[in-house]
Amino acid sequence: MRDLFSALDPDQRNPEILADGATLLPGFAEAEAAELVATLVPITKAAPFRHMVTPGGHTMSVAMTNCGGAGWVTDRGGYRYTICDPDSGRPWPAMPAVFHSLATRAATAGGFPGFDPNSCLINRYIPKARMSLHQDKDEGDFSAPIVSVSLGLPATFLFGGLKRSDRPRRIRLESGDVVVWGGSARMTYHGVAPLAAAVSDNDPLTGNARINLTYRTAALTVAHRD
Ligand code: MD3
Ligand code: FE
């Protein structure tokens, strides 16, 4: 909830077009937020959060795991989607129906009906964790949108342009906010500013953390030899 006045002002809960194809749905997941977090518990028991390493050798400050038929991973060998969690060798936990249905409803509200994501990347930020400007381009097919759900501590999202050098806009994302990124917004550069410490250092939902669910439709590439 933003604050008492804006929560009471229905205009503040209306979708906000951030750019062509990019729509912020304030509080769209608020009613389900507690259920989503509870559903994360068994997922993160089966596939614990971990700090992955980039191809350049940097350990990410964001801790990650996945659910769904495909999970995004990075290591010294590159970025890719896998069927199995490389840490356990087992398939990523299935995407719960409550996760999938939220993403499909949000995509419809953002102008992209029929979204059927097969991947949900689960990002956990603690204060100071950040994500530098990047494009999401490991999915193979860019016709599907991406849906992101923010839970817990607020973050400043950096929404850039089609060139890395385009100066990003700063957009505050709060618990329950959902953003749909499709069409010409799909390939924009984006990131997350270092997470600020919470005023109370504790969010009732997630403790001292922000959780972001990033839903995508990803093509799994078959490993091959050259
Ligand atoms: C805008 N995560 O995992 S989600 C990522 O808040 C990632 O954890 C951020 O960027 C986070 O790759 C942002 C929102 C998001 C995802 C994909 C986008 C915004 C996007 C693709 C194009 C434009
Ligand atoms: Fe991204």
Give the position, in ligand 1's atom list, of the atom nearest the Cα of 155. Answer: 6
> What residue owns the CA closest to ligand 1's atom 15?
148
Please report whether residue 182 resides in a domain.
Answer: yes
Please report whether residue 163 resides in a domain.
Answer: yes
Pocket test for ligand 1, best of 148, 157, 192 (most atoms within 8 A of CB): 148
Confidence grade of residue 12 (pLDDT, cut at 50, 70, 90): low
**Least confident residue range of 2-6, 75-79, 157-161:** 2-6
Give the position, in ligand 1's atom list, of the atom nearest the Cα of 159. Answer: 1
Please report whether residue 120 resides in a domain.
Answer: yes
Rg (CA), the chain: 17
Rounded alpha-carbon distances, angstroms, from residue 68 to 10, 38, 48, 83, 196: 34, 17, 15, 8, 30
Number of domains in the chain: 1
CA angle 70, 72, 74 (to 5 degrees): 140
**Any atom of ligand 1 within 6 Å of the Cβ of 211:** no
Please report whether residue 221 resides in a domain.
Answer: no
Task: State the average pLDDT over residues 74-88.
Answer: 98
Please report whether residue 167 resides in a domain.
Answer: yes
Task: State the average pLDDT over residues 83-104.
Answer: 98
**Any atom of ligand 1 within 6 Å of the Cβ of 151:** no
pLDDT tens digits, one per residue of 101-155: 999 999 999 999 999 999 999 999 999 999 999 999 999 989 999 999 999 999 9
pLDDT at residue 223 in the model = 57
How much is the pTM? 0.93
60, 54 contact by CB (below 8 A):
yes
Please report whether residue 224 resides in a domain.
Answer: no
Please report whether residue 19 resides in a domain.
Answer: yes
Domain span at residue 113 reads: 2-216
**Tokens standing for residue 86:** 């490389």
pLDDT tens digits, one per residue of 193-213: 999 987 766 788 888 999 999
**Any atom of ligand 1 within 6 Å of the Cβ of 185:** yes
Pocket test for ligand 1, best of 124, 212, 213, 215 (most atoms within 8 A of CB): 212
DSSP 8-class letter at 84: B
User: Side chain identity at 207, as an amino acid letter?
Assistant: G
Task: State the average pLDDT over residues 168-175.
Answer: 97
The yes-or-no verdict on residue 4 having pLDDT over 90 is no
Please report whether residue 223 resides in a domain.
Answer: no
User: Side chain identity at 206, as an amino acid letter?
Assistant: T
pLDDT at residue 182 in the model = 98
Pocket test for ligand 1, best of 214, 215, 216, 217 (most atoms within 8 A of CB): 214
Q: How many CB atoms lie within 10 A of CB 141?
A: 9
CATH number at residue 160: 2.60.120.590
